[in-house]
Amino acid sequence: MKEYLENVFKKASENLDYLNEINLQFSVPQQKGFGDFSTNAALMLSKKLKKNPREIAREIIDNLPVEKEIIEKIEIAGPGFINFFFTPDFVASIVPEVLNEKELFGKSNAFAGKRAIVEFVSANPTGPLTVGHGRNAVIGDTVARLLEWVGYDVTREYYFNNAGRQMRVLGESLKFRYLQELGEEVEFPEDYYQGGYITEIAKKLVEKHGDGIKNEPAEGIFKQVAEAEIFEDIKKTLARIGIEFDEFFNEHSLYESGKIDEVIQKFKEMNLTYEKDGALWLRLTELGNEADKVIIKSTGEPTYRLPDIAYHTTKFERGYDLIVDLFGSDHAATYPDVLAAVKALGWDVSKVKVLIHQFVTIVQGKEVVKMSTRKANYVTLDALIDEVGADVVRYFFNMRSMTSHLNFDIDLAKKQSDENPVFYLQYAHARISSILRMVAGEGIEAKVDNIKLLTTEAEQNLLKKMWQFKDEIFNAAVNFEPHKVAAYLEELAAAFHKFYTDCRIIGSPKKLAEARMSLALASKHLIKSGLTLLGISAPEKM
């Protein structure tokens, strides 16, 4: 429908020059009486042309070469909106299209041949993933799925750091627990990792080695084992919600490959560094940022900023057309520095899209739970999945815009898992599957010969909703807004449930039954596509 309007307006613009001067917008009006599509073109032009918008609207309409078989009625409404009403026959014509393309319907090749990298999660292996990481993981994976949907070849990458102070502390924490398991009296420092998972790993070490490694340094086997075990755990958790990474990028490799030195060298050549107080500073003020920052500490160790910069240059060197970084608002302050530095190194940072999601506030009853891996005060993502299931977790994190803070009441989540809207979507899919099973014995097939019979309000509304599918998903993808998919799917499912209640298939005259069956089947394909994009299962039975 939208494509049709765009075409018609294009033809009209041959007569009306001014149509080329504005960005034409077609939208689906919220109010029913305002037609299937609406444009505010006349309103946008009125100031420019200094003319009454309703007169402009009239002129536009007179120049639109519309066909009667497709557009039933065009109205000028309110201050000058132009509202379009499509014919029921044309509305129904989407069914054969969907049935032809099935679950490929609505896919776009707008970005075919382009490569994208989405970096997300990127939690260091110091402990299990928390509910907070869950939001990042789910949004990141869904963004990746959406980019694939519009044609990108997508790499999912997890960046991690297994060096530095926190990992040293982790190794030492494990060694302490190990010694405790052996029965030795050691006082466990308060600022070490308190989580029970460390003790679990320690028990494994005792089983495997007895006291044979008690004199090994914490930096050695203890750190290695802790990291390996924790990483396995993280991967398992992610797999439970359908997330698999293509690459795990170790920060340390940047040192081995000489990338870090190379970057420092370039900065020095560009005279972007200076030494002060024994540290090496980067002249970020010269690049337009607020303050210069240390990139190498007086101890000789780099700050996180330096490897971050080097890491991003590798993303460019690997030839990606789109570089997506997703992280929580606590990291929001660091990326301007990284981007400025990468830009100074000559890369086109307009390829980088930084997505920042707000935090998940965990509430239990009325208490706010402050999450800290170090203090072992957190709710793991695993525990949440155990409690409510993978589909609910995926849906929950997908259904809200990432820019808003999210209050997560654990007690409520458990209580409401029965009422979660995800079941509403899945139920629609299961219902259609059920009809398909029932109908098999009745000799009713999904046939598109008589789709013109789909004229009731419920049928037409469902059909119109299906027309929006392609645009809605496309917009969600290019704007990096997974929650739009969820919102649209709820509308689609609602339209289907209404159709299901109002329009019987079994028991209707054969031609009508077949037409309705084709509509139901088409709905099934779209609901399944949507659920798959969100990473949620589409059950045949519930």
Q: Write out the binding residues for RNA, residues 411-470 only, by CB under 7 A.
A: 412, 416, 418-419, 421, 423-424, 427, 430-431, 433-435, 438-439
Residue range at the interface with RNA (CB under 7 A); choices 218-226, 233-241, 298-306, 526-534:
298-306
Q: Which of 343, 494, 512, 532 binds RNA (CB under 7 A)?
A: 494
Q: Inter-axis angle of helices 131-149 and 390-398, to 10 degrees?
A: 80
Question: Does residue 378 bind RNA (CB under 7 A)?
Answer: no
Nearer to RNA by Cβ, of 344 and 422: the residue is 422
Nearer to RNA by Cβ, of 26 and 178: the residue is 26
Amino acid at 209: H
Question: For the chain, what's the residue count?
Answer: 542
Smallest distance from the beta carbon of 322 to RNA, in angstroms?
A: 18
Nearer to RNA by Cβ, of 216 and 274: the residue is 274
Nearer to RNA by Cβ, of 30 and 215: the residue is 30
Contact set for RNA, span 261-290 (CB under 7 A): 276-279
Tally of CB atoms within 10 A around 434: 13
Smallest distance from the beta carbon of 471 to RNA, in angstroms?
A: 7
Smallest distance from the beta carbon of 191 to RNA, in angstroms?
A: 12
Contact set for RNA, span 123-162 (CB under 7 A): 124, 161
Residue 383 vs residues 131, 161, 374, 378, 390: alpha-carbon distances, Å: 9, 25, 18, 10, 11
Smallest distance from the beta carbon of 115 to RNA, in angstroms?
A: 25
Smallest distance from the beta carbon of 410 to RNA, in angstroms?
A: 12
- Nearest Cα neighbor of 80 from 64, 63, 62, 58 is 58
Is there a contact between 521 and 99 (Cβ–Cβ < 8 Å)? yes
Please work out the total of residues on this chain that contact RNA, with binding judged by CB under 7 A.
95
Question: Does residue 20 bind RNA (CB under 7 A)?
Answer: no
Is there a contact between 4 and 70 (Cβ–Cβ < 8 Å)? yes
Q: Which of 60, 284, 399, 473 binds RNA (CB under 7 A)?
A: 399
Residue 492 vs residues 299, 454, 499: alpha-carbon distances, Å: 59, 17, 11
Q: Which of 180, 289, 314, 358 binds RNA (CB under 7 A)?
A: 358
Site map for RNA, 97-126, x if CB under 7 A?
A: ---------------------------x--
Nearer to RNA by Cβ, of 105 and 500: the residue is 500
Q: Inter-axis angle of helices 165-181 and 223-240, to 10 degrees?
A: 100
Scan for tokens 């659920």, then name that residue: 531
Greatest alpha-carbon pair distance for the chain in Å reads 91
Nearer to RNA by Cβ, of 63 and 303: the residue is 303
Q: Residue 362 corresponds to which tokens in the numbers above?
A: 């965990």
Smallest distance from the beta carbon of 269 to RNA, in angstroms?
A: 22
Nearer to RNA by Cβ, of 44 and 147: the residue is 44
Q: Which of 74, 294, 354, 369 binds RNA (CB under 7 A)?
A: 294
Nearer to RNA by Cβ, of 199 and 334: the residue is 334
Contact set for RNA, span 37-66 (CB under 7 A): 38, 40, 43-44, 46-47
Contact set for RNA, span 63-92 (CB under 7 A): 77-79, 81, 83
Q: Residue 461 corresponds to which tokens in the numbers above?
A: 């509304």
What are the b/e assignments for 122-134, b being 16+ CB within 10 Å?
bbbbbbbbbbbbb
Contact set for RNA, span 177-236 (CB under 7 A): none
Is there a contact between 195 and 140 (Cβ–Cβ < 8 Å)? no
Amino acid at 12: A
Residue range at the interface with RNA (CB under 7 A); choices 55-63, 234-242, 297-305, 447-455:
297-305
Residue range at the interface with RNA (CB under 7 A); choices 168-176, 216-224, 254-262, 395-403:
395-403
Q: Which of 253, 265, 285, 404 binds RNA (CB under 7 A)?
A: 404
Is there a contact between 61 and 76 (Cβ–Cβ < 8 Å)? yes
- Nearest Cα neighbor of 515 from 458, 452, 463 is 452
Distance between CA atoms of residues 160 and 250, nearest Å: 5
Contact set for RNA, span 318-347 (CB under 7 A): 329-334
Q: Residue 513 corresponds to which tokens in the numbers above?
A: 């039954």
Distance between CA atoms of residues 24 and 110, nearest Å: 20
Smallest distance from the beta carbon of 193 to RNA, in angstroms?
A: 14
Residue 132 vs residues 235, 389, 398, 416: alpha-carbon distances, Å: 16, 17, 13, 19
Is there a contact between 335 and 342 (Cβ–Cβ < 8 Å)? no
